Amino acid sequence: MSAQPANPANLANPASRDWPLFEVFIRSKQGLDHKHVGSLHASDAAHAITLARDVYTRRQEGVSIWVVPSNAITASAPEQKAENFDPMASKIYRHPTFYDIPAEVGHM
Amino acid sequence: MLPESTLLTLADTCLISGHRLSEWCGHGPALEEDIALTNTALDAIGQARALLQVVAARRSPAITEDALAYLREPAQFANLALAAAPNTDYAHTVLRSLLLAAWLVPVWDALGHSSDHDIAAIAGNAAKEARVQRRHARQWWVRFGDGTAESRRRAEAAVAALWPLTGELSAVRIPGVDPDAVLSAWWDAVQDAFAEATMPLPTAAPPLSGELAAQAAQWRHALLGEMQSLARQHPGARW
Amino acid sequence: MYTQAIDVGPVDATASRSTTPQDDEFLKRIARDEKIEPQDPMPEAYRKTLIRQISQHAHSEVVGMLPEGGWITRAPSLKRKEILLAKVQDEGGHGLYLYSAAETLGVSRAELIDALHSGKAKYSSIFNYETATWADIGTIGWLVDGAAIMNQVPLCRCSYGPYARAMIRICKEESFHQRQGFDIVRTLCQGTPEQKAMAQESINRWWWPTLMMFGPHDADSPHTGQATAWGIKRITNDDLRQKFVDVTVPQAEFLGLTLPDPDLKWNAARGHYDIGRINWDEFRRVVNGDGPCNAERMHDRVKAFDDGAWVRDAAAAHAAKAAARYATSPDTRIAA
């Protein structure tokens, strides 16, 4: 799916008849991060914003919306999941619970 | 307090245009757009309910919003003719929304300061909803005017059908609301949308002809015939 | 609103047999209750089965807008009109979430819609029944949505991440659908004799089709084993149907409505209600296209899609023009 607007003349390939796909991110309230909530098809980014408001905030789920063309997202490779993330498991000294603090010292 | 005739003009305009918008639900041109348009239908029907509740409570003895919506005769409705215009195609729906919302935004804005506090409270919320509807319609109007040859042809047909109905707008009088200010805000919004859509703006429409008024009454009659059918089959029933 | 998993079997039974080491690793991940995400390796049969099930589910939501949608313009009070409009709109949203989930598996929405319109793809046959009276709007919410919720809640834990997340959102939104339906039926039962009769007549028509929504008996569902092994199906058809009957019978008693099954009775030994024989001939007939409204539903869907083509094209054409103008002269871009 291309983020470029579909060419209406090109009807041979069914996929080209869809508007481009956008990923939608919503800030549920001031002070929180935008969070991925889903996707939708829209003719361009401005259109995607207005449609995201109607599709994803019908129950006051948000106060701010981001949209990103789906094909603009670069993702880490699933097959590198183990080598990327497993080595972090052994670095237990990064966590506060690794350290014993004598009870007399109190909260730290 | 605003006169009942004013409240009914606004309430019936919202109810009938909301009903027209609701006819698209499940039949929209794209799934996303179906959901978006239904939001504008819900807003309009919600505005109508709020106003009809005020009217109903002020009657003596008090009646209900549903008695006003379902048991009045079509001739007793006070909606703008534009609101009842049939959907025909999406260009007609979008233009009707644009022309109505461009009028309702300044009306609600002015009524937000009304000394009739019940109405001022309704208007504050309705002004936001009307802005959403105006923006939604404006964006589509631009896509149609500046889209494909077919969308432009359909946009032109919608102008031919609906523009004459706007002649009625200059005749509406709402106590406490400056009619010239409303009309000038309406013109600005419509002019701006037509310009971006590269659509030629027609000249001001003359007051509604008797023929057009009769046509609008027929649209309303058919619409209410459907809307009121079940409620009228069961007099006195609660739902 | 939804539907049973109409057909959750593998697309190609032989392809589903785990053969490669990668497939063994996949089954181990499922067994550990790990979620599968779009880019993860997965057996081709799992991917195809999911596309079919999720898209059937999406089609069911969108076709499901039609039977109730026909009453929006005739809803007998303004409150009911708003509620029904919001509910049917939600169903469109649910269809959209599900199409999006299916699209993560490498299929476009246009292809899925083509499959629906050409008759290749199925949707829940419950939507091929007629909504003849206003009471049907209540019955659909109370019984059909009630049955759907039974089915959907376990899907929130299904192994495919995007499907499970869509189902969580759907279940959250759906929680008002069944209640509004029950509320309509309850109001009718407390109303005039004509209204109560309308409610009873509607239940008489919808009870059996609703029970059929859970799909064939377990003994006649050869593919359930595979779907369960893949973590797509969590509870069997008969178990879900039983659960639905057990919670619904007391609700009908509360309303003073009779369920149209002379064999329906409490079985103390089992701790469940027994029901009569389901007419599977009717089920197959409706699934295979010979229900009361199959042709009408498809006609309405295809018409809406075809009538909307010029609208979608206009938006795409305008976006292309605006993008070209922006590319040559960014300063002239008009913010929408």
Q: Is cis: bond before B61, omega within 30 of 0?
A: yes
Comparing alpha-carbon positions, the chain B residue that sits nearest to C314 is B147
pLDDT at A15 over 80: no
Evaluate whether residue B211 is within a structural domain.
Answer: yes
pLDDT digits (tens, 9 = 90+) for B122-167: 999 999 999 999 999 999 999 999 999 999 999 999 999 999 999 9
Does B238 reside within a domain? no
Interval B159-178 mean pLDDT: 97
Question: Cβ neighbours of residue A35 under 8 Å, at least 6 residues apart?
Answer: A25, A26, A27, A28
Q: What phi, psi does A36 have (nearest 5°)?
A: -65, 130
Q: Count the neighbouring beta carbons within 10 Å of the beta carbon of residue A57.
A: 18
Q: Predicted ipTM? A: 0.97
Cα dist from C183 to C164, C180, C254, whole Å: 29, 5, 12
When pLDDT is cut at 50, 70 and 90, the band that residue C133 belongs to is very high
Residue B176 placed within a domain: yes
* Mean pLDDT (whole number) for B8-17: 98
Q: How confident is the model at residue C334 (pLDDT cuts 50, 70, 90)?
A: very low
pLDDT tens sequence across B19-66: 999 999 999 999 999 999 999 999 999 999 999 999 999 999 999 999
Enumerate domains of chain A plus CATH numbers: 8-105 (3.10.20.520)
Total of domains in chain B: 1
Between C81, C88, C317, which is nearest B26 by CB?
C88
For residue B90, the tally of other CB atoms under 10 A from its CB is 24
Does residue B111 fall inside a structural domain? yes
Domain that holds residue B197: 4-233
Strand positions, DSSP E, chain C: 265-267, 272-274
Asked if residue B239 belongs to a domain, the reply is: no
Answer yes or no: is B116 within a domain.
yes
Cβ of A14 within 8 Å of Cβ of C110? The answer is: yes
Nearest-Cα residue of chain C relative to residue A76: C39
B192 located within any domain = yes
Candidates C107, C118, C312, partner chain A, best to mutate (most A CBs within 10 A): C312
Q: What does pTM read for this prediction?
A: 0.93
Model confidence over B187-226: pLDDT tens digits? 999 999 999 999 999 999 999 999 999 999 999 999 999 9
State the CATH number of the domain containing residue B61.
1.20.1260.10
Cβ-Cβ contacts under 8 Å, C77 against chain B: 66, 70, 231, 239
